[in-house]
Amino acid sequence: MAAPTTSYVSVTVVENGKKILIPRKIYGPFCTSVTFGDIFEKVTTNVPESGCMKVQRVSICGADDTKNSDVDLGCSISVCLEFNSKYITYVVCKEEEMVSVNAFSVLMTAQKNQQEVEHEMVPIPQRESERLYGDVKMYNDLVNLCSDKTILFQRKNICDGEKCLVLIKNALWLLDPHHEEVVSRCELPADLNRFHGYNNYKAKKHAKPRLTVDGISSALQPLEELMLVPWLAKTEYSVLRNWIDGIICVLLKMKSYRIQMNINQKVRHGSMVPLRSPQFNTDISTIEKHMPPAITKPEYHAVERSLRVTQEYQPIDLLNFAPVDRYRRRHWLDSIQLSFPIVIYKYAHGNYLGTMVWVWRIPVKQDDRKEGETARLTAALIADVRTYATRSMRRDFLCKWNAATNVSKSLLRGMYRELTVDASAANDRHELEVDERVMQYMMNLDDPDIIYDLRKLNGNPGSTKFADFWSEMDSYFNEYEAQVQDRRQGQYLYMPVAISIADLRRQIVDRLQKAGKDVAVPSDQWIRLQFTPKNPYLKSASQYTGKFNVKFAVQRRLLRAEHEDSKFANFQYRLIKEFAVRHRELVLMVNLDDKAVVPVGEPGKPTSTGVRSHNQSITTTTTTLAALDHDFHVAGIIPSVTFIPNIPSTIVDSFFDGKVFVTCKERIFQASSPLRHATEITGILRENRYCSDGKLKQPIYLQYSDGGVDHLTTRLATQLSTLCMFIYLDLDMAVIARTCPTQSWVNLAERCMSILNLALQNVALERKKMSDDKEKLIKSRSSVRDIREVAERKQGLDIAYGESMKDVVEQVEMLFARMKLKEESLSINKPASVDTMEGLASSLKVIDATPVDVNSVQKKDLKHLQRLASFLTTHSKSSQYIYQIKKCTNPDCTYCTTSPPRSQNFQDVHWVPDPVLKRDVDGQHYTEFSEIYGQDTTDKDRPSQLSKTTNETDKTRKELLLPGKVRSFIVCGDCSKPRCIYARRKLSDRELIEVENTKEMYQYVCGNSLFPEGSVMYDTIVVRQGIQCSSIVESSYYSATTIKLMPCCIHCGGKDSLLGVDDDYIKDLKSSYAVVRPLCTICRTNGKEAIVRQPNNTNKKRKTK
């Protein structure tokens, strides 16, 4: 008889099909005669609640099956072997749940439990953060102190305690860098006296924060308001009340002290005489001989020996022998006694410069002493003393001589320092930079006599010293111009005249020597000044003679294409800047831009970043600097630049002064999106002290970007992402604007790209290798979309790919961190995680509790989000290049009532106006900001709405732009309409890959070419260029014969909510026309008509009488 078969099974127990009571686990071995009921008893033997469990259903399935099969509890497990199903699931319920309960008693019990929870006294919870230092550590230490003092709050009022501790923390954080000064003038509460050393600005390599009157007031006001809160008067919060009262007293004293210091500073700056001068701050004293040398104190022996070996009336610096400690040094100077008479000369500079002390020996007898010699020494020492002029003194000199001589103030400041030996510091950093540039220019030129040459020869055409050299150079330029005419395209020259000034000078000298001429040769700097200045409107242009029409220039890789909306969009940016200047105390401005993808090679194939170096790099002598130099790559890094400028006081001043943040993202699974940008900006603002208590310090947020797909102001995803920031940061107003197509250079963040290019030059990158099975999955994938599709099917590929890119991303971040903008290092920010983005998106629940996918939502979905749609209608304003959200003052608005505007004069804050053409001129100029601010404006004067353009290139490609030559399509990054891609023949695999890479790496905008000029595919694979974003979808899209394209609305390009053939409107049109182009419900609701072709020729019978 055969032995019974045994088997192992995998078992799990689930309550009501949801809660897992026993996780899945392998049990066995069991004989095939064992029943499913026996296995259940064995599995639940050690479960306390097994007695009240009742099995509702038993199901089995195999490893690859997606459906379960139900079996009886008394059936043997032999069926598992027959059907190869060894995964068993028991669905159970508790027997007491089957007994009916009283609904009223359940509600009463729940209410009682809720009340007990709300009134429970609990301590304030600590903050959880990845960085437990700085202000977070200070806050947590305050929480621990409250726990030690038994300061408790009801659970429902715990937010009051948290707010109180935040205000105390803010005040202590403000005073922390100035703790020694505060303690010397005031007395902090004893419990809080140890709260210092948290704001370690030196470790962050920051300057010491200034303790200003405004800063003290911002911390003082909320504390004073907190003292009026009723709950703080309770006995159990007396300790907390004493802390706040003590901090308020300290802040008031420091505020009064700072106000008095500011008053004294203004008096000093306005004085017309120096505050310190040798005539008034000098002390000359004679110390006679007091004791024999045998009993001279040891601390004066070195001074005495030095004076003995020097002649009488020969001064020496006494501080070279004095103690370092200032208190001991003062006592040492006051108690000096030597064996011979001396004279001590003291001059007190004041402040940190200390006192200058000189000493010299004089004769013992009074008759031998020479008073004239003492006066001579004093005058000589005074001549070397640095003087410090006041601002009023320098301002008076500059104004007087600037008006009389028309000399620039930077030169006058240098003259004033030379004439008066003034050692005063510059008023600000910009003035210091200008002065240093002027002095460097005058002193560091190659030719020592260049300053004299400039005065003598500039504007003196009669000088013939270098006439032969200039004549030969002129001939060289004329010959070169003739040689390169064939390679000139319009006003652009694609070959330089010379590599450098030195190279040009050598070429001219060689030409002269070959001609047998021995002439005078000017210096390189003097040759440079014969050119045309790069900017003729700067003052430095006056140093150039303009003898030759040649200038320095850097080759432009991509020439700026013009767009018909350029002037309109640029003036819109000007209006935004004027709005920022007008409300500069309330506004935070941010500029955004994504750098082009940084190529990353496959494992073992480092690929060049594509940045051509301007200088050689340093490397070892035993290695060769090399990399693969090709354009085909899939992996890449997208650096996102966030530039936060300091808003100037006037519109004419530069906005390019601020802080730069860089976020490096892997391009495949961390693609840029509106919600990702909003989340990363919010993180930057919260982590870099732009926020207070989770709210943006400035209640108005302005954002300017280059207008990529993820920055389109007309896209609902972008608008909702902005709304998330608006709610999350409690803003009064949020404005996002963008450049018009092809004009991204207007964006200030674009200027930072050259800094990033410096870090990437001479660099090659490769990602780390994944496991062999993961590498095999993506080996044949040639585009980002293909890899994403594979990752959707193969779990874990995205995580493995992220790990393979981690090291190279950190390497690029390290390179960027070494870069600086105006001597300030770039800050590196980490990409936003999925959880963080979902957390920001959840802010929309304040407006509408209906779940919404921010990144993929479309305007047609708003019909299911009525509260959100109503809020956008009443609180936002949208146009082509700007989108705005603003709180209202309507008492019926729930959101603006619970979160009222924080701006003091909110009634004076209006929408940023749209550009409006002046009606009384030629229609080419826009109305100034001051004339239209506060008025209701629209973008009706936008040129792209008013004109239709034709393109000469399309005329030459007339035979190519046909329905039979359509091979694919590309979506405009601005209007989202599909545009046809034409080619004479079917695209090869290589051409398809190039087209797909172009779609992924570059933003296409209506009117642009598909490939740049000079590309081999520029004239073979093309798009129609004589169209705009306002143009409808091409007819070739619908009548293409070589490819089947999905129907889309002819007006907006949308593929959803198209009117069907059963619609009465479409049915009526089809009865009269052979061709009716698709139309969506949104465009139909907005009043747009369907485009029709080919009327039906129906012969109507004439009525006869």
Residue 483 pLDDT: 45
CA gap 951, 956 in Å, rounded: 9
363-395 tens-digit pLDDT:
888 888 877 787 788 777 776 666 666 666 666
Residue 540 pLDDT: 61
What is the side-by-side order of every strand in the sheet holding 316-317?
282-287, 342-348, 355-361, 316-317
294-339 tens-digit pLDDT:
566 788 888 888 888 888 888 888 888 888 887 888 888 888 888 8
Could you tell me the pLDDT band of residue 828, with boundaries at 50, 70 and 90? Answer: very high
Read off the pLDDT of each residue in 884-906 and give the average, rounded to a whole number.
90
Read off the pLDDT of each residue in 196-206 and give the average, rounded to a whole number.
82
CA–CA distance from 422 to each of 246, 388, 413, 425 (Å)? 45, 5, 10, 9
Query: Which residues have CB under 8 Å from 196's CB, separation 6+?
Result: 172, 175, 176, 179
Could you tell me the pLDDT band of residue 181, with boundaries at 50, 70 and 90? Answer: confident
Amino acid symbol at 658: G
Paired tokens of 708: 């990529």
Q: How many residues appear in the chain?
A: 1105
9-52 tens-digit pLDDT:
888 888 876 678 888 888 888 888 888 888 888 888 877 766 67
Read off the pLDDT of each residue in 277-293 and give the average, rounded to a whole number.
72
Lowest mean pLDDT among 394-398, 417-421, 556-560, 897-901: 556-560
Helix axes 716-728, 674-687, angle to 10 degrees: 20
CA gap 628, 623 in Å, rounded: 16
CA gap 516, 520 in Å, rounded: 13
Residue 549 β-bridge partners: none
On the question of pLDDT at 160 being above 70, the answer is: yes
- Which is more confidently placed, 617 or 479? 479
CA gap 893, 631 in Å, rounded: 55
Question: Do residues 414 and 439 lie in contact, with contact meaning Cβ atoms separated by under 8 Å?
Answer: yes
On the question of pLDDT at 342 being above 90, the answer is: no
Would you give the DSSP letter of residue 160? Answer: H
Top mean pLDDT of 36-50, 749-763, 805-819, 947-961 is at 805-819
Residue 501 pLDDT: 75
Read off the pLDDT of each residue in 250-267 and give the average, rounded to a whole number.
87
Residue 709 pLDDT: 74
Bin 822: left if φ > 0, else alpha if -120 < ψ < 50, else beta: left
Residue 681 pLDDT: 93
226-252 tens-digit pLDDT:
888 888 888 888 888 899 999 999 999
Question: Do residues 209 and 231 lie in contact, with contact meaning Cβ atoms separated by under 8 Å?
Answer: no
Which among 82, 70, 84 is positioned nearest to 36, based on CA atoms? 70
Residue 25 pLDDT: 84
Calculate the CA 376 to chain-centre distance. Answer: 62
Residue 545 pLDDT: 73
Which among 433, 772, 807, 762 is positioned nearest to 612, based on CA atoms? 762
Residue 89 pLDDT: 87
Q: pTM score, two decimals?
A: 0.48
On the question of pLDDT at 494 being above 60, the answer is: no
CA gap 21, 392 in Å, rounded: 83
936-975 tens-digit pLDDT:
998 888 887 765 556 778 888 888 888 889 999 998 877 7
972-1018 tens-digit pLDDT:
877 788 999 999 888 888 888 888 877 776 778 888 888 877 778 88
Residue 555 pLDDT: 39
Lowest mean pLDDT among 169-178, 257-266, 497-506, 980-989: 497-506
Could you tell me the pLDDT band of residue 619, with boundaries at 50, 70 and 90? Answer: very low
1068-1085 tens-digit pLDDT:
888 888 889 999 888 888
3-state secondary structure of 1069: helix
The backbone torsions φ and ψ at residue 681, rounded to the nearest 5 degrees and listed phi first, read -65, -40
For the chain, the average pLDDT equals 79
CA gap 77, 63 in Å, rounded: 16
